[in-house]
Amino acid sequence: MTRALFIIDVQNDFTEGGALGVDGGAAVAAGVSELLARHRGAYELVVASRDWHSGEGDNGGHFATDAEPDFVDTWPPHCVAGTMGAEYHPSLTVDEVDVHIRKGQGVPAYSIYEGTDDAGDTISELLGRHGITDVDVVGLATDYCVRASALDALEHGQHVRVLTDLVAGVAAESSNAALAELGHAGALIVTSSVVAEASGAAE
């Protein structure tokens, strides 16, 4: 078993005060940093994704430019490349991140699997190179990018755990539905205590 950690979109625009801020986003940033400070050794690979949208155009219909956003398929402008909104939340310590994935460069993109790193490699290529079999998923937002990333990880044959104390969503109902869907699809819906327990058992 070789495990990776996916840190999904812990960015200023998705945390409190941002263009699409969710309640609890800053706490997720701090919690992920604490997890890495205590249990970095649990992961062969730590990957962080960011929305990295174009500042021009509607990004393939992702940004609502001619009508009000429906907050399902169209959204207010957010996480525009090079802006503070696209940067990681300051409470997220990125020193322990091995790979940074950018997604949504001119097109809609929810899953980490839709992005690439600076060298142009996809997450599938990176996981294969490192022999990753298991993935823990944390970040924002539970009901959108966390959901899409975890479903894609399952689709690509990974054993997936979603750490529920380190995710936050747009709305409670849709977040609960997303976790139920992920559990039905085969993900383990657990808390980060499983990482501590496994680390203790390995000592």
Query: Among all residues, which ones are annotated catalytic?
Result: 9, 103, 145
Sign of CA dihedral 131, 134, 139, 144: positive
Q: Side-chain half-sphere of 135: how many Cα atoms within 13 Å?
A: 32
Sign of CA dihedral 89, 48, 135, 196: negative
For residue 165, what is the enclosing H or E element?
strand 159-168
DSSP letter string, 34-58: HHHHHHGGG-SEEEEEEE-B-SSS-
Angle in degrees, 0-180, between the axes of helices 172-185 and 147-155, rounded to the nearest 10: 10
